[in-house]
Structure 1
Amino acid sequence: MFLILLALLRKFAFGPVMGIMKQREEHIASEIDSAEQQNQQAQKLVEEQRELLKQSREEVQVLMENARKSAEEKKEEIVAAAREESERLKALAKQEIQQEKDQAVTALREQVASLSVLIASKVIEKELSEQDQEKLINEYIQEVGDVR
């Protein structure tokens, strides 16, 4: 009886249980393989991300260096332009000062000449007789007429 029970159990119970166990083992093995593949893919993605991050950092470093150089060049250009403008304004101011000085000297000469003529006429009025003054005035009028 025990042998018959054992044979029946082997045919009807152990066979399907062993089949289920075999399927379960295959399923677990395929899940482990799948997990390992996913782990490898994840590692690969991590490496790719690290490489991209490294490249990004290098690009940022290059961009920052370029921006710094560009800013330095721009600064130098602005300083040079400011110096040129300063020199131009300085030269212009010197020129204007010289013109003002020349105008002042000319005006002073005209005033000195006018005052000299006035002083001379006062001196001449006192020293010349009426006839001499009249003669001098007539000569002056003639000279002015001839010049025109």
Structure 2
Amino acid sequence: MTIVWESSLIAIVSFAILYFLLHKYAFGPLFSIMEKRREHVLGEMQEAEKNRAESAKLMEEQKAAIQEARKEAYGIIEQSRATSTKQADEIIRTAKEEAAKLKDDAVKDIDSEKNKAIAALRGEVGGLSVKIASKILEKQVDEKAQEQLVDQYLNKVGGNV
């Protein structure tokens, strides 16, 4: 086997020219596209990481907001309980005051009616005393008859009261 130097030289020169042309026109744009793709992928990964971090932050904010809303709801419930208890106590106090007032008014009415009845009874007793005295003077009765008249008078007074 003999080596043909001219063919080898032509092949080496052709290869060098082909490599130069490929490097200038094919590898450059190809490497440029690959570099752009690599940068794009890195940018997307950074964006995804940023979005994940932002999502985690928003999730924490939402958890905090939910916790705050629960606290507010609990506060509102406790305030409602306190208000309802206060209102119930106020209603009970007012009812007790009304009952005491009604009782006092009833006692006053009873006393007033009692005084009226006593006054009416005194007037009636006075009238009956006069009648008895007039009957006694008319009859000039003895002691037994006088006792009978007093008993009749007392029975009359006892029946009217």
Same topology, TM > 0.5 = yes
Alignment partner, residue 32 of structure 1: 45
- What fraction of aligned residue pairs are identical, expressed as a percent? 39
2-side partners of 1:15 and 1:70: how far apart? 80
Alignment partner, residue 88 of structure 1: 101
Alignment partner, residue 59 of structure 1: 72
SS state at 1:104 partner: helix
- Tell me the CA shift for residue 123 of structure 1: 5.1
State the one-letter code of the partner of 2:64. Answer: E
- Please report the TM-score for the alignment, with normalisation by the length of structure 1: 0.75
Structure possessing the higher radius of gyration over alpha carbons:
2
Question: After superposition, where does 1:40-59 map in structure 2 within 5 Å?
Answer: 40-59=53-72
Structure 1, unpaired ranges of 5+ = 129-148
CA offset digits 1:88-123 (Å, max 9, x no partner):
211220121111011112102202212332343355
Superposition CA RMSD, Å: 2.0
- Selected match of 1:112 from 120, 125, 128: 125
Deviating 4+ runs (over 3 angstroms):
4-7, 118-124
CA offset digits 1:15-41 (Å, max 9, x no partner):
101101101110121121012111101
Aligned residue-pair number: 127
State the one-letter code of the partner of 1:112. Answer: V
Alignment partner, residue 134 of structure 1: none
Alignment partner, residue 77 of structure 1: 90
Alignment partner, residue 133 of structure 1: none
Identify which of structures 1 and 2 has the higher relative contact order when contacts are C-alpha pairs closer than 8 Å and 6+ apart: 2
1-side partners of 2:69 and 2:48: how far apart? 31
- Please report the TM-score for the alignment, with normalisation by the length of structure 2: 0.70
1-side partners of 2:93 and 2:139: how far apart? 69
